[in-house]
Structure 1
């Protein structure tokens, strides 16, 4: 029987730690999250041992905040996955999971978005819930969603302090998955889109939700923030070659709601918020400060993410892609046909695959051949005026 939505019972736990100490790592894919990023890292480091973060070409203060956090603590690591295309969250998070497990032994690996905070009274409670995940099952967090309201004091830069309106949470629901050590041995283990479930051989793994530890999800921190988020995700998801209408429907609905806005300036009651929160009982939101907050900001002056700067940054990335497309057309001899451009792309991809294979080889002959292939690729691109002489 589904348990009712309820507020989080945060009575302190005074029992001794019953579970053995676990090594826990998180993976995050972030983009233009400067307003919440420092708070996100400082809070969650009280519950995980290391945070691996991929910066997805941010245009705000996100890279600087990450640089400072990495300099301050070895528990924060920035991963470079080289991705420059559409938004493929599941593929990139899965690749990161496999990479970090290969280099270090973890008991739990969990994905966290930059607006998600582990909501527990202490780490012992968190580990006790993790230790209770049945064998062969994935773990999961329920969601406790926080929402910006019209009475928020926007002079407070820190959204973990400013945003107080929260919906209850259903302790039996599944919001975000996590992978226990036993499942990490499965070479086919993968996250689905949104990281809501784990898949083994393409089939969803049975899931056990942590009963006492949800994720506090600061999904809507201001109307400007959610408007820009919907626009960026609209571009990212819609540009995927495999996009279908069932991908992130709320984000797309939010972007569609912006079409009907008569002005750039949005009111706190703009239609984008109910469109993005379809299925949530917004009228049930209650005042609940995030009292589980851990850590304080050292650089509040960086916790800004101007909306227009982010939109212009998105335009710059789209312009770069269009310029690359023009370069391919030029390389194909000015022929605009899809076949001509496809031939250039296929040649480049074939050479890159060969170089990747040879780079991984320890053979002296292979390394020499790799250099020869590299020279061949350089000459091929130079003939097409894609690289400078």
Structure 2
């Protein structure tokens, strides 16, 4: 069973090595599309490739993006270059958990064009050991309830006919949705928030990407979960940064279960300890700089853009 993992990635230096080492045990190859990482993400991926781990990296430096188009490109590229039986779409904070027979065994018994695996969310808590660099070893408390947002794994061979939905929650071929079947015994352990600082980094940059992509991105609503934290950080930063329970959540047995996964990746060799607040600040400034430079290039290259800015500068509105 030949499985290729396809992933978009941006500034994931704290988790990418563990992600590769663990999930490589389930996959023949791992294909990454980097969106302009400015931390050590690319250096870590290059070092892992040099070790002999089966991965390749493409890059697209877009300050805003069309997620469905990017996901579909990932499928077409994985399918064309690596001829997989299945393409699994994973974010870099998702770790495969599979029972006896593994993911390949579950997929071998699947006749549908697509399969789904549930996301199991893990929480960062005050119980975490900050000295543990392997995220799935450090974060051991998961949600009691599984949210109804499974991720899709698509059979290979469809090529450019396949379109993958935003969020990797579904797929279609020639405009017709692929029937999906759940995989018993398989799940994705999901570590979307490794600290309060990491959450602020994701929401801040995520909402700026939505705004930079224009009206269509605002209308599709797939990223609206970034908006409220972004606006709180912008308008009332002390309500988040000044709240110890936000920066490190207390353990809540009413909604959490102690259930660490069986991490298969071994020790890390290329991940360097760093403070999440410093990572968040650096990532935010890098992204703000990229937005400003993109705006400047538009003015340099487009008379229409220069005219628009001139009109903005000429507008005057009486306020009070």
- TM-score, normalised relative to structure 1: 0.71
Q: What SS does the corresponding residue of 2:245 show, helix, strand or coil?
A: coil
**Contact 1:227 1:272 survives alignment (8 Å):** no
Change (3 A) 1:192 1:266: farther
**Contact 2:161 2:174 survives alignment (8 Å):** yes
- Distance between the aligned counterparts of 1:170 and 1:67, measured in 2? 34
Higher RCO by CA contacts (8 Å cutoff, separation 6 or greater) = 2
Compare CA radii of gyration and give the structure with the larger one: 1
Residue 50 (structure 1) aligns with:
29
- Within-5 A mapping of 1:219-368: 219-241=192-214, 242-245=216-219, 246-258=221-233, 259-262=235-238, 265-270=241-246, 283-301=254-272, 306-328=279-301, 332=303, 336-337=307-308
Deviates more, 1:59-68 or 1:239-248: 239-248
Structure 2, unaligned stretches of length 5 or more?
312-320
- Distance between the aligned counterparts of 1:57 and 1:206, measured in 2? 34
Cα shift readout 1:113-132 (whole Å, capped 9, x = no counterpart): 1100001246x232221122
**Contact 1:109 1:179 survives alignment (8 Å):** yes
- Within-5 A mapping of 1:167-246: 167-168=143-144, 170=146, 173-181=148-156, 184-185=157-158, 187-241=160-214, 242-245=216-219, 246=221
Structure 2 residue 36 is the aligned partner of structure 1 residue 38: no
Q: Which has the higher strand share?
A: 2
Residue 9 (structure 1) aligns with:
none
Deviation at 1:194, TM superposition (A): 0.8
Among candidates 64, 77, 99, match of residue 86 of structure 1: 64
- Distance between the aligned counterparts of 1:55 and 1:105, measured in 2? 22
Cα shift readout 1:205-262 (whole Å, capped 9, x = no counterpart): 2211112110000111111001100111111122223123522222223323323332
- Distance between the aligned counterparts of 2:300 and 2:168, measured in 1? 36
- Distance between the aligned counterparts of 2:178 and 2:309, measured in 1? 40
- Distance between the aligned counterparts of 1:240 and 1:266, measured in 2? 31
Residue-pair matches, total: 304
Residue 132 (structure 1) aligns with:
109
Cα shift readout 1:104-147 (whole Å, capped 9, x = no counterpart): 3210111111100001246x232221122233x41111011101
Deviation at 1:270, TM superposition (A): 2.7
Among candidates 41, 46, 61, match of residue 40 of structure 2: 61
Among candidates 108, 128, 132, match of residue 86 of structure 2: 108
**Contact 2:119 2:146 survives alignment (8 Å):** yes
- Distance between the aligned counterparts of 1:89 and 1:216, measured in 2? 22
**Contact 1:227 1:254 survives alignment (8 Å):** yes
- TM-score, normalised relative to structure 2: 0.85
Deviation at 1:69, TM superposition (A): 1.1
Q: What SS does the corresponding residue of 1:270 show, helix, strand or coil?
A: helix
Q: What SS does the corresponding residue of 2:26 show, helix, strand or coil?
A: coil
Structure 1, unaligned stretches of length 5 or more?
1-21, 274-280, 341-389
- Distance between the aligned counterparts of 1:262 and 1:216, measured in 2? 31
